[in-house]
Every structure is written in structure tokens, then in C-alpha cells.
Amino acid sequence: MATIHVDGKQYDVDGADNLLQACLNLGLDIPYFCWHPALGSVGACRQCAVKSFRDENDKMGRIVMSCMTPASNGTYISIDDEEAKAFRATIVEFLMTNHPHDCPVCEEGGHCHLQDMTVMTQHHSRSYRFTKRTHLNQDLGPFIGHEMNRCISCYRCVRYYKDYAGGTDLGVYGSAANVYFGRAEEGTLESEFSGNLTEVCPTGVFTDKTHSERYTRKWDMQYAPSICASCSVGCNVSPGERYGEIRRVENRYHGELNGYFLCDRGRFGYGYTNLKDRPRHPLIDGATVTSDVALGAARGMINGASKVIAIGSPRASVEANYALRTMVGAASFYDGHATQEGELVKLALQIVRDGPVPATTITAMEDADAVLVLGEDITATAPRMALAVRQAARGKGRALADEKKVSDWQAISLADLLQRDSYPVFVASVDSTRLDDIAHATVRAAPEDLARLGFAVANLLDASSPAVAGLDEATAAQAKAIADALAAAKKPLIISGTGAGSTAVMQAAANIAWALKAKNDATGLALTLPEANSYGLAMLEPQPLADALEALASGAADTLVVLENDLYRRAPKAVVDAALAKVKSLIVIDHTATDATARAQVVLPAATVFEGDGTVVNYEGRAQRHFQVYDPKYYDASLAQVESWRWLAVLEAASGWKILDDITGACATAVSGLAGIVDAAPGAAFRIDGLKIAREPHRYSGRTAMRANQAVSEIRQPVDPDTPLSFSMEGYNGVGGLDRPAALMPYAWAPGWNSPQSWNKFQQEIGGHLRGGDPGKLLFAGGATQAYFTDVPAAFTPSGSGSGFRVLPLHLHFGGDELSSRAEPIRERASTAFVAIARADVARAGVNGHATVSVDGELVQLPTFISDTLPAGTVGLPAGFAGVPFVAYGVDATVSGG
Amino acid sequence: MPGYLPPEKRSPLQQLGDILWGVYTQLRTIVMIFSHTFRKRDVIPYPEVKPYMPPRYRGRIVLTRDPDGDERCVACNLCAVACPVGCISLQKTERPEDGRWYPEWFRINFSRCIFCGLCEEACPTTAIQLTPDYELAEYKRQSLVYEKEDLLISGTGKYPDYNFYRVAGMSIEGKPKGAAEKESAPVDIKSLLP
């Protein structure tokens, strides 16, 4: 703690902060550009100048940069000092000399930090009368627009992209007033986290290209607190809607999960919800019908069935899955994961919920000082974790700075101290990963061998864990190096997950974490999962999918209800075909046109995550609520898509469920593990000052014109009985003495702060937790010490001759996720399907540019990718790609040329 | 009423004065009315003859074109947000051939418009202008919803010279980087000169 005096008033602040951060914490506004809570201080822009005084009697003072000055005890500063104000006004005028006359045609306008700061410093007309320097722009790919003229040279972009996100292809060129931020050559930005540039850049140099196509100003969009559905991390997002389309996804700050940053898949993958060919009307045998007719038909099918079974979905909400389970009964409710994946998720649940090491939050991962990633390419399967692991590696800079008594916000000093050093990161995976560049050592092996390595590491850490028989010397040495680094660490972290498809890999990871936990209480563990609500589904204890398909194929059940699931992604085509061929009635509830909806007799159109309310459970066991962003019926009354749970509540009329709270409450009561989901966010009765919370910013425009082409008499604004949010600008918008609960913050805005920097106004301390607590409710109470897993697998042996190869699923950031891969910009960014084959095996397989791959009797022809990192005897297929067959774990394929 | 006496309480002399005064005012009125026969008339035969309206009169709203004949509106949404009754809505799109921003559609609900002129004041490109045309009566309220086809005129309106893209930094077809007013040629970032 330190006491500082600002403009004659005394405040208690954290002495470890810099003055800028300390003042922002106190709610005092100082304009700034180059400082960012996640990037630290560099003192490049000179905008945050304040006057500093020696003591209370000093009347002269001197100008200092508040971001570069520690908030040490007894500091006397003045923000309102005339000289400091004049200095800041001059600085912003200098920064603006070359700024183009672009605001009306700039995508940043209206949520621009430069606009905010210019208004704050009251600069309104320039004295500069000469020509402005200009720059040529680059095409940076389908995500990011580039307009270098607008640059104010704050260096935030390269500090984020290169230092924070580990990108290599964005740099700064030129000198003096000519500095240029871009790529050496025009081309797509390679980092999977490039989208954050649009929020990091204080002005409109880097803007969201996907948003620009159907551009709407920030104040004109309707928002709701939402959860990203692209992976199991459950990053908080703030999607914006206008005229019945989702226009943009922005980061919604969460102090323990995503912080200030998202991955590109989550940010730019929303396009599937706007697709024209999505089911938006109920269909019977492909023909559009009314909801009543479709429900009647569905009821008839269910009542007339000999036996009804249902398949749930890991991408649907807990409520939807619970409603389905209630309708058919727990014994007839089947897992929406592929059979093996379901087992893996169950195992993960057992490890994380019942084991002694709970899942580590993303923010806590950033503090780890040794990381082992076992069997997972987290940049693809849980991307936000990969960004956190990069911070963990860089975290050594903070430790070095601490030794030298340098504050941790001194970004340049930290980088100088760190040089090329980093905390140890080990990546053991089936193929090269996008984290290899920060890895101290990488291991490439088949899942069995990765598991053996993991078991060996655990054995070295704790001899009571099972030993690995017949370990070769090289692996033993690797295990030793990893075990030593983890044992020496203060906060070791193990990341594994379902990505390798192997229970043994996860068991090995658990053994390591548990062995470490016995010695070091700060041990962290995180297991990635296949989909956004994998835990939510697993906690409803569904029966394995294989049993469902078998029951159908054998005729034991004749009617099938499928919830938000494309079965062809969950089992081999032949198996699904055989099962569906026997089905008398197939009812599919989904928001996306899949091979399953194409075969269904009745399709009930579901709401996407943006169109409905629901609760999902992330990898930590954190239940988080996503809220409906907009009501599609406001623009087109014929649209019928509603949440899956609502369809099921109507089908199961006896349930008596009317609103979300009814079904959430029923689920919490019925399933003890899910009791906490009611606390994920306040219920529908919640009010602030008697008001609902407004989804629209108070300056939302065009309400009396937006649907005047349909009817000039305005209809009533849609009513939301399910949540405490209103489809309107009327309601509580955060301006006032009371905070909105963090789980109900639709968008970031504070008076004078239109840009994402306004999150500063809602945090307990800058860059920390949100006021009132971060959103979500952890469902896992913490487990107890478990016995070590003992099933050490035998080493993988390649078949050596012939055309048989073990197939390994390769996870890619773009293109593998079912929903985002339907979005146009993601499709453009994703690679085409391929088959990866080890260089050593090229001759044996006889491939030449193309290969014919046969998996489970399904033949596909794919271009080959010769890999130097894939283990011999295996081929890699990109998981989840269109045109790539379903691959179960441990399956062999035959590969032949052309 | 102070000083007022009801007629029955007045003296006969006062009553005679009242009669004379009444006759005088009657005659004066008749003279005044008939004098209008020779005066310039106050009423104009609208709609055959239209009254003069100053150019800055705030009537029907139009979207104008720049001196080169292209749409001035860049779909920045500032008019919509300035509108106190929310009667303007539009959608930005971009012309693929030249990169100009323009409204894909632009709608004003004149049945809500209060002709305050804030949209014109907010417009950074002088695209939206209020005109002296006040004849907006309709039998059906729906007819007061104007789309872009109804709003866009072929001229420049009150501001004949302004062309936003000549001062803006964004490049469009025919105006590359560095070609706007008060712009220098693009920086050669490969140059080592200071």
C-alpha cells in the first residue's frame, strides 16, 4: 500500500502500480495510448503526462509520464494542473497531425480510443497546415483490415502481436515519422490471435474485416452477454446484432478466463448463425410447415413409437440436454459425443472434479513457471490456453525483474532482462504444434508413447506411481528433463485433454499433476474437452452413443430424437447409415443444416448460441449463462427458431416449464452435480432500481425506421420473459451508482469511454476481477486424493510393411470446428483437407501428391502433406474437416497412391 | 372590473354617449372591411402559387450527390444517431469496384420526422440536407416512409463544392493514397533516408 496525493486529495493505492494505473483504479481519468493493462508501460506516446511535485510545498513541479512513474508512497501529483493539461493537449495535437479525415468511413469510429482521448483532452482543431504523410496499406487476409494512415505509432500492435502472442509476421519498419506497422510482405496474418489487434489498436489501423462487410456502429448494435461456443474454454464474448444478423463478436472481459483477448476462431467464426440455408422454419420431409403442425407430427411420432431414444449434444446447453433427458428418460438418453470421446470426457470429469487438482483458470496459467502440454495442440483445441502458456513462458521476465527490483509493468526492462530466456514449456504431441516455438523440448510420438512418457514423468516425481516397463533411453532422458523442470517449479502446470483421443494420455497427465500436488500445492492442471458444453452433457450421465446406434440398427428402438448434433461427425458413416436406415421416425432439433437434418422426417429449427438463452459448463466446471442477443421474430414474424429446450418444453407439455428459470431450476434440483447452474447468472426476476438491463446502448438509433418498410406503425419491442435483460435501450445501462452483475454486462461502455478500454471502469482493479465477481459459477467443489492410474499402455509399433497405418486426428485451429468452419472468413482462412504422412513412410505408402485413404470402409482421396514430425507408421487426418471421414481412436487405415 | 358601471346604473348622458360610441365602431368596422377591396391581398392562391421559402428552410430531407455526380452519403450513421426520434436507418456497404462506402439502403420515416435538422448538422459529407419542400401530406401514413430511391437527388443541394473523398485519407478508385488534398505521396518504407 502507498499513499499518494492527487490534486490535493489523499488516496491509498497499490505501491506496485504505476501512477497511471493507480489513478485509473481510483476512477481518475488520465488520457493514454501506449499503455495497456496486459502489455505494460513503454512510455512511447507521452499522452499520460501529469505534474509531479517534490512535496506538498513544491509549487513548481515537473511533468512526468504517469505510466512510467511508480505510485510510491508520498507522491504528490496533479492531473488538473494547467501546464500538464496544455502538455497533453499539445501531444494529442501532434499525434493527430497526420491523422486522416476518415472518421465517417472508419470502422473504429464510435468505439475508438483515439476519439475518446481526443475528446478527453479537448483537442478540436488542428494548427498544422501542411501536408499529411500517407502510407500504402496491405491486405492482411480475411480477418483484419489495414489502414496505416490512421496510425499514431503507439507500438501497441507489435507489442501485442510479437511479444504477447508470439507472432512473427507483423513488424515495424521505417524510422522517425515514417514508421510503418505491417508485414514484410502483404499476406494473411499467421497468428491465431490476430483478431485482438482490432481491440488493442487504439485507433482504426487494424479493424475487423468481417464486421466491415455488414458494418454497424457500436452504438447501433444490440448486445447480450454470451459465451463462445468454439471450444471448451468458454470465453466470454459480446456479440452485436443489427437488422437480425450478428455483425461482430467482441471480447467481454472476464478476470479469470479470457481477460482482454480472444482467439480468431471465436471472434470471426460467428458467420454460421447468419447463413441463409440454416433451418429457420419447421420442416416435415423437407417441406416448410408451421410450428404447431411440426409439433403435432413430432408428438404423433413419439406417441406411436415402440421405443423412443434420444441423442444429446455437447454443443447444446445444459437446459436443452436436460429437457431431452426428461422427455425420454435417463435410460434412453444417449451421449452426443462419439463413443470414445464420451469416455474421455467422463474420465476428464473424474480427474478434474473428483481428483485433488482442480482445473486451473486461464489467468492462473499465466503465472505458471513450468508447463507440460501432453498430447494436445492447445492452439487448436483450447486456443486461449495457448496464449496463456505463452505468458507463462514470458513470465520469467517478471521473476528476473523482481530480483533486480524492477516493477513488472516496465515492459521494455522486462524484455531486456528476459532476452531469449523463458520458463520451461514442454510440448509432447502427435505432430508439430503452434506452441513449438516457445517449447524448451518437443516430443513427437503416437498417443501410447506420449502416455508412456507421461507415466514415466509421474513415476520420476513419485515412485509410488506406476513405472513404465521397457522405456527406451531417449524417452527416459526426456522424462527426466521434464520431471526435473516440473519438480523445480513453484507453479507447475500440466495441460492435456481429449485431443489425442487417448484415455492413457489423460491418465498420465493426471498422475503427473497428482504426483506434483503431493509436493507442491500450487500445481495446476487443465484438461481440454471436445466441445463447449462437454461437461454439461457428461454430468447428465448419458448412455454411450454406440449403444444408441446399436439399439436403432437392431430395431430395439424405432424413433430417434437428435438434439443439435450431426451424427455423421460422431461415428463412422456406415454405422450411422445402418442405424438411421432402421429408424421409423427421425426428429432432429438443430440450428444448422447437417447430414442428419437432411435425413430427418421432422426438423425443428433451434436457436444458435446467439439467439437463445442457456447454460454451458466449461473445462473448469464453470457454469456460464449465454443470453439471447436479439429476437429474430422482430424483423420477420415467420421465423420459428427458438431454443431447443423450448421446443422440448412444449413437446413435453406435462413439464410445465415456461421460462428458462423453470427448467434451470428443475435441472439443478434433479441433477445434484448441476445444482450450481442456477447461480451462473441472476434469474429473470432480477432488477436494478426496478429496471431490466438494457441490451442496446442508450444511443441506439433508427427504432422508428428500422422496420418501417414493413409497417409504419411500430410494433411493441420484443419482451424477454426469460432473463433480466430487455430488448431495448430502455433499462439500466450501467450509468449510475449501481453496477450490473458481471454476468449481465451486455457490452463495454462508460461515459467518455466508448472503446474496449472502458472495461477499466468495471474492474475491481485494472486488469483484475470484475466488480461483483467474475461471471459464472464453479460447479466442482474440489475433490480428494485419488489412487494413481495404473494402466500403462504398450509402446506403439508401426505395422512396418504393407499399406496399413494408424490414423491420428490432427486438430487445426481453423476448419475443424463444426460451426465456425461454416463461416465464410474461416473457410477462406482454413486449409483444405489433406492427409499427413511421415516422410519415412512415403515410399511404403507409394503416395505421390495424392493418396487414397480408406478408414472403416470409407474411401476418400486427399492431397498429401509430407510431415517431418509425424511419427512413422501413422497418418494424420485433420479432425472435423469437411470431406474427411470420422476417425475413432486407434483405427488403422490403408493408404495408397493417387 | 374597476370603474365599470352596469348600464342600469348609468346616467342618461352616459347612456347617450354609449349609443354614439356604438354607432361609431360599427361604421369604422364597415369602412375597414370595405377598404380591403383596394388593398394587396394577404392570402395566396395555394397550390397554384407557392410561397417563397428561404433555402435554409427545414423541409423534406434529401440525399445529395457530390460535384462528380456520385453519392455523397458514406453511411457513417451519424445522422441516424443524431436523430432525436430515431426515424433514420440505413445499412453501410462498400462498392467493390472503387472501395467507396455507401448506403445499401437508406430509410427515413417522415411520419416520425420533426424536421429539427440535427441530421444535416451531424452529416460530415453534406449528403443529407433539408430542403424548402414542405409538401409532405399523404392519405396513407405508410407512404411517408421514404427509401433511398425517394431521397436521392441528382444535384449537390446547398453545398455545390464539397467532396468528402477529396479530403479523406481513404483511397478510392481514381484517388490513390497521397492524392487527397493536403496529402504527401506515400512513404517508401524501404527507404533508409530519414
Domain ranges of chain A: 2-95, 342-529, 804-897
Q: Are A18 and A31 within 8 A, CB to CB?
A: no
d(CA A874, CA A502): 15
- Cell numbers linked to A819: 460451426
> Could you tell me which of B174, B170, B172, B88 has the C-alpha nearest to residue B123?
B88
Instruction: Please judge whether A178 and B169 are an interchain contact, meaning their C-beta atoms are less than 8 angstroms apart.
Output: no
d(CA A711, CA B141): 9
d(CA A475, CA A485): 15
Instruction: Please judge whether B76 and A180 are an interchain contact, meaning their C-beta atoms are less than 8 angstroms apart.
Output: no
Please state which CATH class domain A342-529 belongs to: alpha beta
d(CA A366, CA A364): 5
d(CA A258, CA A248): 17
3-state secondary structure of A21: helix
Q: What is the largest CA-CA distance in chain A?
A: 92
Q: How many residues does chain A have?
A: 898
Q: Between β-strands A308-311 and A333-334, what pairing exists: parallel, antiparallel or unpaired?
A: parallel
Instruction: Please judge whether B177 and A134 are an interchain contact, meaning their C-beta atoms are less than 8 angstroms apart.
Output: yes
Q: Are A194 and A160 within 8 A, CB to CB?
A: no
B99: nearest CA partner in chain A = A105
Which residues from B are below 8 Å from A699, CB to CB?
A: 81
Helices (H) and strands (E) in chain A, counts: 26, 37
Q: Name A716's Cβ contacts closer than 8 Å, sequence gap at least 6.
A: none
Give residue A215's pLDDT: 94
d(CA A126, CA A763): 35
d(CA A774, CA A70): 28
Give residue A280's pLDDT: 94
B79: nearest CA partner in chain A = A701
> Could you tell me which of A24, A28, A532, A501 has the C-alpha nearest to residue A234?
A532
Q: Which residues of chain B have pLDDT under 50?
A: none
For A701, the closest of B88, B124, B145 (CB atoms) is B88
Q: Is A17 exposed, middle or buried (0-12, 13-18, 19+ CB in 10 A)?
A: buried
For residue B145, the cross-strand partners are B109
Q: Does the annotation flag B87 for ligand binding? A: no
B-interface mutation test, from A704, A710, A729, A754, most B Cβ less than 10 A away: A704
Q: Are A229 and A220 within 8 A, CB to CB?
A: no
d(CA A199, CA A747): 14
Which amino acid, residue A246? I
d(CA B160, CA A669): 71
Instruction: Please judge whether A216 and B77 are an interchain contact, meaning their C-beta atoms are less than 8 angstroms apart.
Output: yes
Instruction: Please judge whether A105 and B170 are an interchain contact, meaning their C-beta atoms are less than 8 angstroms apart.
Output: yes
Which amino acid, residue A478? Q
Give the gyration radius of chain B's Cα atoms: 31
Q: Is B60 exposed, middle or buried (0-12, 13-18, 19+ CB in 10 A)?
A: buried
3-state secondary structure of B152: strand
Q: Does the annotation flag B79 for ligand binding? A: yes
Nearest-CA distance B118 → chain A (Å): 13
DSSP label at residue B141: G
**Which string of b and e fits A470-506 if b means at least 16 CB within 10 Å?**
ebeeebeebbebbbebbbebebbbbbbbbbbbbbbbb
Q: Which strand (E) or helix (H) includes residue A9?
A: strand A9-13
A99: nearest CA partner in chain B = B169
Which residues from B are below 8 Å from A212, CB to CB?
A: 94
Nearest-CA distance A147 → chain B (Å): 8
The residue assigned the cell 479469470 is: A256
d(CA A688, CA A160): 37
Q: Are A689 and A594 within 8 A, CB to CB?
A: no
Which residues from A are below 8 Å from B112, CB to CB?
A: 704-705
Could you tell me how many CB contacts below 8 A there are between chain A and chain B?
A: 143
Q: Mutual orientation of helices A447-461 and A503-519 as an angle, nearest 10°?
A: 20
Nearest-CA distance A103 → chain B (Å): 8
Q: Are A202 and A156 within 8 A, CB to CB?
A: yes
Which residues from A are below 8 Å from B170, CB to CB?
A: 100, 102, 105-106, 147, 149
Instruction: Please judge whether A132 and B107 are an interchain contact, meaning their C-beta atoms are less than 8 angstroms apart.
Output: no
- Cell numbers linked to A634: 422482430
CATH number of A2-95: 3.10.20.740
Which amino acid, residue A581? A
- Cell numbers linked to B130: 433539408
B146: nearest CA partner in chain A = A709
Q: Are A196 and A387 within 8 A, CB to CB?
A: no
3-state secondary structure of A709: coil
For residue A808, the cross-strand partners are A876
> Could you tell me which of A167, A248, A263 has the C-alpha nearest to residue A210?
A248
> Could you tell me which of A634, A755, A639, A640 has the C-alpha nearest to residue A703?
A634
Give the gyration radius of chain A's Cα atoms: 28
A27 backbone φψ class: left, alpha, beta (φ>0; ψ -120 to 50): left
Chunked into runs of 10 residues, chain A (898 residues) has average pLDDT values of 93 93 94 95 94 92 95 94 94 93 93 95 90 94 95 94 94 87 94 96 95 93 95 96 95 95 96 93 94 94 93 96 94 95 95 95 95 95 96 94 92 92 95 94 94 96 93 94 96 95 95 95 95 96 95 93 94 93 94 92 95 95 96 93 94 88 95 94 94 95 94 93 94 88 94 94 92 93 89 87 84 93 94 92 84 88 92 92 88 83
d(CA A385, CA A353): 19
Q: What is the largest CA-CA distance in chain B?
A: 113
CATH number of A804-897: 2.40.40.20
- Cell numbers linked to A661: 428459470
Cα A893 to Cα A695, A865, A873: the distances in Å are: 51, 16, 11
